[in-house]
């Protein structure tokens, strides 16, 4: 379980099929094999942890299901990704409940400067738009964001300067795919109404 509050920006340093090595700033001794780590919003299991000059290099593996439902199939060496360690019992829930179970990629349609913030307009994949509501929550590349408006399958979010500076969203541009996890509560409410 995660909150959508990014705690580090990692960098993909090696890719081999569904295996990825990621350099991060987390202390080597604070991580161990078997731990979960949200990588651009995907809950992945650490399969290896190695000490690095600054922090650690961790390895993760993704199944074919994960590769098919996320942006991981696009990851290349040098890509910067949002990282979040799991929520521990008793910690503050700063964002919203995020499972790390990505629904599908969403495409960025626009990136617009909006005062000090940056406004992103995205397109939800078919079937997921019904779970996205104005003033509701979504996790995009692992970042908990409030939806500003919804127009059919497209929806908008604003990212404040702090979040932009402390996440990999500073790299995101129109045409990029990002991992979308719809709000867990919206999913269950829709299921109960069926």
Both tokens of 115, joined, read 């005062």
Top-level class of domain 104-193: mainly beta
Asked if the domains 8-84 and 104-193 are classified in one and the same CATH topology, the answer is: yes
Find the mean pLDDT for residues 71-89: 94
Predicted pLDDT at 119? 98
CA 130 to chain centre: 20
Confidence of residue 190 (pLDDT cuts 50, 70, 90): low
User: Bigger pLDDT: 192 or 185?
Assistant: 185
Matching residue, tokens 């406004």: 119
CA pair distance 30, 44, nearest whole angstrom: 16
Predicted pLDDT at 86? 93
**117-166: pLDDT as tens digits:** 999 999 999 889 999 999 999 999 999 999 999 999 999 999 999 999 99
Domain edges within the chain: 8-84, 104-193
- Domain covering 8-84 assigned CATH 2.40.30.20 in the classification: yes
């Amino acid at each position: 379980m995660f909150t959508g509050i990014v705690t580090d920006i990692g960098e993909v340093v090696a890719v081999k099929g569904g295996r990825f090595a990621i350099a991060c700033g987390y202390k080597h001794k604070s991580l161990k094999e078997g731990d979960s780590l949200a990588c651009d919003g995907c809950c992945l299991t650490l399969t290896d942890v190695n000490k690095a000059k600054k922090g650690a290099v961790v390895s993760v593996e993704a199944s074919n299901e994960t590769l098919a439902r996320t942006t991981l199939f696009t990851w290349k060496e040098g890509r910067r990704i949002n990282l979040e360690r799991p929520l521990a019992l008793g910690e503050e829930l700063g964002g919203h409940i995020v499972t790390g179970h990505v629904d599908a990629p969403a495409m960025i349609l626009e990136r617009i400067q909006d005062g000090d913030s940056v406004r992103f307009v995205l397109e939800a994949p078919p079937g997921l738009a019904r779970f996205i509501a104005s003033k509701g929550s979504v996790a995009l590349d692992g970042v908990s964001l409030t939806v500003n408006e919804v127009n059919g399958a497209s929806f908008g979010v604003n990212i404040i300067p702090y979040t932009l500076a402390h996440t990999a969203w500073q790299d995101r541009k129109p045409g990029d795919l990002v991992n979308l996890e719809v709000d867990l509560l919206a999913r269950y409410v829709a299921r109960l109404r069926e």
